[in-house]
Amino acid sequence: MLQQLRDHARETALLASIEGLLGWDEQVYLPPAGGAWRAEQLAYLAGQIHRRRTAPQLGEWLAELRESDAAADPQSDVGCCVAQLTRRYERETKLPAELVEEVARVASQSHHAWVEARTANDFAGFRPWLERTLDLQRRRAEAFGYEHSPYDALLDEYEPGATADGVGRVLGSLREELAPLVRQIVDSRVVAPSELLARSFPVDRQEEFGKLAAAAIGFDFASGRLDVTAHPFCGEAGPADVRLTTRYQEHDFGDGFYSILHEAGHGLYEQGLPDEWYGLPPGESISLGIHESQSRMWENLVGRSRGFWRRFFAPCQGVFHEALADVELDDWCFAVNASRPSLIRTESDEATYNLHIIVRYELERAMIEGDLAVADLPGAWNEAYAATVGVTPPNDSDGCLQDVHWPSGAFGYFPTYSLGNLYAAQFFDQAEADLGDLEAMFAAGEFSPLLGWLREHIHSVGQRVTASELVQRVTGQPLSHEPLMRRLRAKFGELYGFA
Ligand code: ZN
């Protein structure tokens, strides 16, 4: 029985990895005229994969395996497979086929309408699409079922086991301390030397330096690549085939370099998952939040630290001699950590980022729970931005139309970004307690102790536990906003002179 299940899963994993490769190629190499056929290929594969994941035969195997002793412990290999595959099977089979098709159709039309509305700053034109999308997502939540809030049912897709109330509590505590910290940064009137990052950084040399840094932190280029795309992501096309992407602008060092470190963090997680379980739950990542904890750790806690730049600033000056010959290490460290409230989430810094997420979480939860009508979204958005982030959008394009998530139906996705930042800080504290002074190691070019720790405590676990169980198991504490706040207060207090 188990062997049949594994064979079935292996074939599904073959299809899914082909889908991954085609999806990566679509973003990196596909000529524009090839788009229509590629969409057919991807839709065909998605249909095949969905059919396999909802096959009645699979349901029967799982029902039988659930009765066996081997599956009694959900943290064992077999138990984890059976519990997680059952969970997925039940979720996918709860949705009527017509709803699945309607969601896919509306998502693609709505995406198209959003691109136009954003360019034209036309919320009214987009509003009917968002209303339809929201209605479909609420129908999905009803089909999945929930105990307290329909938002729970949607959140569960991205962060299994998380609830609206649990997320609301920790984000609420975070906001209470983070908003005043951001105000202190603004009130300090200290200005970071951000212009250093806008000097001339030739693109070919950015790639060279980015690859050097990714390899130094442990990304294995024998089983991975780095390519160029419009919106950076990390994809995978097999157990030893991880695809990082970034983008380069000659006059923005930070955009390209920190996208590489961020995606390499995701890639290190993929490369650390147990190969022998590829395509099955013990070989898969726990949640989007845990995935994001890995990317944010390498991007921010490692790559923006002084220790990191004590090791890499001299090589960086060597590669970009004309731009950096006259720059001091302290100024560079300040430049890569500059903070300022801004309108656009994807361009925001380590301190203000979570405020952007808190706004989205509150608004999308209110929409799903029926407390906020789509028609009232622009006003609610602008009010929330003024109160929480400290800036007021001049138009909807730079306001509630800025993100791709809602137009594509991804309600419940946003909180995973902040959860990732919170998990990262809490894991990092524990790694430091276990290993000693991590920044001193970074300064000496030693990244393998931290990577080894992540491999042992997080990557190798697969889906044997939920995200909140993992946090408790690894750190001995439930998730808290405090490790992140301590870190941000110390870093920004020092940089902006109010420590
Ligand atoms: Zn990410």
* 141 lies in the same domain as 171: no
Domain-embedded: residue 153: no
Which letter does DSSP use for residue 336 in this model?
Answer: T
pLDDT value at residue 24:
95
Domain edge (last residue) among 113, 145, 177: 145
Between the CA of 353 and the centroid of ligand 1 the distance, in Å, is: 13
* 226 lies in the same domain as 351: yes
* 130 lies in the same domain as 179: no
Domain-embedded: residue 79: yes
Per-position DSSP letters for 41-95, written without gaps between them: HHHHHHHHHHHHHT-HHHHHHHHHHHTSGGGSSTTSHHHHHHHHHHHHHHHHHHS
* 141 lies in the same domain as 195: no
pLDDT value at residue 257:
98
Give the alpha-carbon dihedral of 136, 137, 140, 144, to 10 degrees: -170
Domain-embedded: residue 157: no
* 234 lies in the same domain as 346: yes
**Contact in structure between 103 and 140 (CB atoms under 8 Å):** yes
H or E segment and range at residue 248: none
Structure token pair of residue 192: 């970071």
Q: From the first residue on, what is the mean pLDDT of each consecutive set of 10 residues in the chain (499 residues)?
A: 90 96 94 90 90 94 94 92 95 91 88 94 97 98 96 97 97 97 96 98 98 98 97 95 98 98 98 96 97 98 98 98 98 98 96 98 98 98 97 97 95 98 98 98 98 98 97 98 98 94
To the query of whether residue 263 is one of the catalytic residues in this protein, the response is yes
Sheet holding 242-246, edge to edge: 224-228, 242-246, 234-236
Q: Supply the range of the domain harboring residue 248.
A: 164-496
* 88 lies in the same domain as 176: no
Domain edge (last residue) among 145, 180, 210: 145
* 116 lies in the same domain as 179: no
Measure the CA angle with vertex 262, ends 178 and 330; round to 5°.
65
**Contact in structure between 343 and 393 (CB atoms under 8 Å):** yes
How many structural domains are present in the chain? Answer: 2
- CA-based nearest residue to 377, from 391, 387, 389, 365: 365
pLDDT value at residue 166:
97
CATH number at residue 316: 1.10.1370.30
Active-site residue, from 263, 292, 299, 362: 263
Structure token pair of residue 29: 């190499």
* 101 lies in the same domain as 227: no
Between the CA of 494 and the centroid of ligand 1 the distance, in Å, is: 27
* 121 lies in the same domain as 208: no
Q: How far apart are CA 286 and CA 295, in angstroms?
A: 14
Domain-embedded: residue 155: no
Domain-embedded: residue 462: yes
Between the CA of 291 and the centroid of ligand 1 the distance, in Å, is: 7
pLDDT value at residue 104:
86
Domain edge (last residue) among 145, 177, 198: 145
Q: How far apart are CA 69 and CA 85, in angstroms?
A: 17
pLDDT value at residue 43:
86
* 405 lies in the same domain as 308: yes
Between the CA of 261 and the centroid of ligand 1 the distance, in Å, is: 10
Structure token pair of residue 23: 């999806």
* 139 lies in the same domain as 249: no
Domain-embedded: residue 152: no
Domain-embedded: residue 151: no
Between the CA of 298 and the centroid of ligand 1 the distance, in Å, is: 11
Domain-embedded: residue 158: no
* 133 lies in the same domain as 194: no
Count of other CB atoms within 10 angstroms of residue 255: 18
Distance set, CA 295 to CA 219, 268, 291, 417, 489 (Å): 12, 9, 7, 10, 21
- In sequence order, what are the residues at sequence separation of 6 or more whose Cβ sits closer than 8 angstroms to the Cβ of residue 106? 129, 132, 133, 136, 409
pLDDT value at residue 311:
98
